[in-house]
């Protein structure tokens, strides 16, 4: 049986067309949109503002939810990891990261990942498949409902980062559609300014992204300043080497408005890419490409049994940051969140931790 259309991934116009086919007026589409995204309902039966006959029609021809929460884990630092499954059984992970004055949700764009970065655990899953726009959005709905109750107010507002499983720019169309739907003020209303998309360096898509009228913030995972090392750490570099990547970054930079910046992420791997010389090389590379509106997020490596790398010493992390700053480059050291529950950067590999399991009631 073919899967029923998942209305969470429909734009308001698409909903209007579908409901039109069912003989319904336009305002019904707005009610359904508001129900799915504004009230974060996950079944048509709960949309009691719709006539019962319409709810039944919708139940017969569409679905309001496809993901299930398989397990969830809470870190000692308050971070929560949600391991979800698609209707066809593929893993999807989303992470809720609270800080004092804002919440961030890290979501997946694909189940698994094709890129095979050497220091990342998600690579071990391989690519399972692209997520649909509806599956991308539903992760955020599920997380917010779990944390704040169905439709509950989100007191801090929500930032989104496309930094979970997958390479967002390998699923560009669905990603951008999902972000557009989530930005709608009648729905989740998470505007592009609160959203960051991270890419390992899919160069043609960086150009495409730069041309979007309303677009989120951009982060590029760099992690090495020469091709020899980057080819090994991030095989995508063999397809789009550093000079091409940074030329795309420069083109993107030119489209930024005054005061806006973008980010390079640099995972610090002890003894591999974290020496003083590596820091100088990185600063030199930014100079060579005349990148000025960039900041560097230094991510301490999150180790895992299956990964060969080890974190840099805290002293070397600080040295690295200082050298960048001495070269006029803004650099920030990121604090890992949720390491104890496999929720931190590069740790999403659908890991089951029996000792920490809480099955969510749904
Ligand atoms: N595929 C995209 C989106 C994933 S973002 C991308 O690569 O940008 C995940 C971030 O975590 C990336 O910056 C990646 O370089 C980083 N990362 C991967 N493995 C890591 C690890 N073991 N420790 C710390 N950061 C890691």
pLDDT digits (tens, 9 = 90+) for 284-324: 999 999 999 999 999 999 988 888 999 999 999 999 999 99
Please give the distance, rounded to the nearest whole angstrom, from the Cα atom of residue 48 to the centre of ligand 1. Answer: 43
Kindly tell me if the per-residue pLDDT of 169 is higher than 80: yes
Q: pLDDT value at position 354? A: 56
Please give the distance, rounded to the nearest whole angstrom, from the Cα atom of residue 43 to the centre of ligand 1. Answer: 34
Write out the chain in H/E/C secondary structure: CCCCCEHHHCCHHHHHHHHHHCCCCHHHHHHHHHHHHHCCCCCHHHCCCCCHHHHHHHHHHCECCCCEEEEEEECCCCCEEEEEECCCCCEEEEEEEECCCCEEEECCCEEECCCCCCCCCHHHHCEEEECCHHHHHHHHHHHHHHHHCCCCCCCCCEEEEECCCCCHHHHHHHHHHHHHHHHCCCCCCCCHHHEEEEECCCHHHHHHHHCCCCCCEEEEECCCCCHHHHHHHCCHHHHCCHHHHHHHHHHHHHCCCCCCCEEEEEEEECCCCCCHHHHHHHHHHHHHCCCCCEEEEEEECCCCCCCCCCECCHHHHHHHHHHHHHCCCEEEECCCCCHHHCCCCCCCCCCCCHHHCECCCC
Q: pLDDT value at position 289? A: 98
Which numbered atom of ligand 1 lies nearest the CA of 302? 23
* Closest C-alpha residue for ligand 1 atom 10: 345
Q: pLDDT value at position 57? A: 96
Could you tell me if the CB of 273 is within 6 A of ligand 1?
no
Q: Which of 234, 258, 232, 261 is nearest to 245 (CA)?
A: 234
Taking only the tens place, the pLDDT of each residue in 32-67 is 999 999 999 999 999 999 999 999 999 999 999 999
Taking only the tens place, the pLDDT of each residue in 103-144 is 999 999 999 999 999 999 999 999 999 999 999 999 999 999
Q: pLDDT value at position 359? A: 44
Please give the distance, rounded to the nearest whole angstrom, from the Cα atom of residue 266 to the centre of ligand 1. Answer: 9
Q: pLDDT value at position 347? A: 82
Which numbered atom of ligand 1 lies nearest the CA of 303? 22
Annotated active-site residue 117? The verdict is no
Place of tokens 């499983």: 165
Could you tell me if the CB of 119 is within 6 A of ligand 1?
yes
For the record, the structure tokens of 319 come out as: 């040295």
What confidence tier does 361 reach under pLDDT thresholds 50, 70, 90? very low
Could you tell me if the CB of 146 is within 6 A of ligand 1?
no
Which of 113, 117, 120, 345 is labelled catalytic? 345
Annotated active-site residue 93? The verdict is yes
Average pLDDT, the chain: 94
Q: Is 294 helix (H, G, I), strand (E, B) or coil?
A: strand
Q: pLDDT value at position 50? A: 97
Q: pLDDT value at position 173? A: 98
Please give the distance, rounded to the nearest whole angstrom, from the Cα atom of residue 227 to the centre of ligand 1. Answer: 18
Q: Vertex 218, ends 209 and 128: CA angle to 5°?
A: 75
Of residues 179 and 157, the one with the higher pLDDT is 179
Instruction: Report the Cα–Cα distance between both ends of the chain, in Å, rounded.
Output: 24
* Closest C-alpha residue for ligand 1 atom 3: 163
What confidence tier does 1 reach under pLDDT thresholds 50, 70, 90? low
Please give the distance, rounded to the nearest whole angstrom, from the Cα atom of residue 302 to the centre of ligand 1. Answer: 10
% of the chain with per-residue pLDDT over 70? 97
Could you tell me if the CB of 346 is within 6 A of ligand 1?
yes
Largest CA distance in the chain: 69
Helices 276-288 and 314-326 pack at an angle, to 10 degrees, of: 30
Residue 230 φ then ψ, to 5°: -70, -35
CA distances for 76 relative to 311, 337, 341, 350, 361, angstroms: 21, 9, 9, 19, 22
* Closest C-alpha residue for ligand 1 atom 13: 221
* Closest C-alpha residue for ligand 1 atom 11: 345
Q: Residues 81-85: what's their mean pLDDT?
A: 96
Ligand 1: which of 119, 127, 233 to mutate, most ligand atoms within 8 Å of CB? 119
Q: Residues 180-209: what's their mean pLDDT?
A: 97
Ligand 1: which of 198, 224, 349 to mutate, most ligand atoms within 8 Å of CB? 198
Global pTM value: 0.95
Strands 91-98 and 127-130, bridge-based pairing: unpaired
% of the chain with per-residue pLDDT over 90? 88
Which of 93, 135, 138, 253 is labelled catalytic? 93
């Amino acid at each position: 049986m073919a899967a029923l259309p998942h209305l969470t991934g429909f734009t308001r116009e698409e909903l209007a067309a579908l409901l039109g086919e069912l003989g319904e007026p336009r305002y019904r589409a707005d009610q359904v949109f508001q129900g799915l995204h504004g009230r974060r309902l996950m079944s048509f039966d709960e949309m009691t503002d719709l006539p019962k006959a319409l709810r039944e029609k919708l139940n017969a021809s569409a679905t309001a939810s496809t993901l299930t929460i398989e397990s969830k884990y809470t870190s000692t630092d308050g971070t929560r990891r949600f391991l979800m499954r698609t209707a066809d059984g593929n893993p999807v992970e989303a992470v809720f990261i609270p800080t004092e004055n804002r919440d961030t949700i890290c979501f997946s764009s694909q189940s698994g990942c094709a890129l095979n970065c050497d220091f990342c655990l998600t690579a071990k899953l391989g690519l399972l498949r692209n997520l649909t726009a509806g599956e991308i959005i539903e992760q955020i709905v599920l997380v917010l409902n779990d944390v704040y109750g169905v439709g509950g107010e989100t007191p801090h507002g929500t930032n989104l980062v496309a930094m979970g499983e997958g390479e967002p720019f390998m699923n560009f169309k669905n990603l951008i559609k999902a972000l557009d739907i989530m930005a709608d003020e009648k729905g989740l209303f998470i505007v592009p300014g609160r959203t960051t998309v991270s890419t390992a360096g899919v160069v043609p898509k960086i150009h495409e992204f730069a041309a979007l009228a309303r677009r989120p913030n951009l982060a590029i995972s760099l992690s090495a300043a020469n091709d020899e090392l980057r080819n090994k750490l991030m095989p995508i570099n063999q397809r789009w080497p550093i000079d091409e990547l940074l030329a795309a970054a420069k083109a993107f930079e030119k489209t930024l408005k005054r005061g806006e910046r973008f980010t390079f992420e640099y995972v610090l791997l002890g003894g591999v890419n974290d020496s003083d010389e590596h820091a100088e090389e990185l600063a030199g590379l930014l100079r060579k490409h005349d990148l000025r509106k960039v900041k560097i997020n230094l991510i301490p490596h999150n180790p895992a049994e299956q990964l060969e790398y080890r974190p840099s010493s805290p002293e070397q992390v600080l040295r690295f940051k200082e050298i960048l700053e001495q070269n006029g480059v803004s650099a920030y050291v990121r604090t890992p969140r949720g390491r104890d529950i496999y929720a931190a950067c590069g740790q999403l590999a659908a890991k089951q931790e029996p000792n920490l399991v809480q099955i969510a009631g749904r």
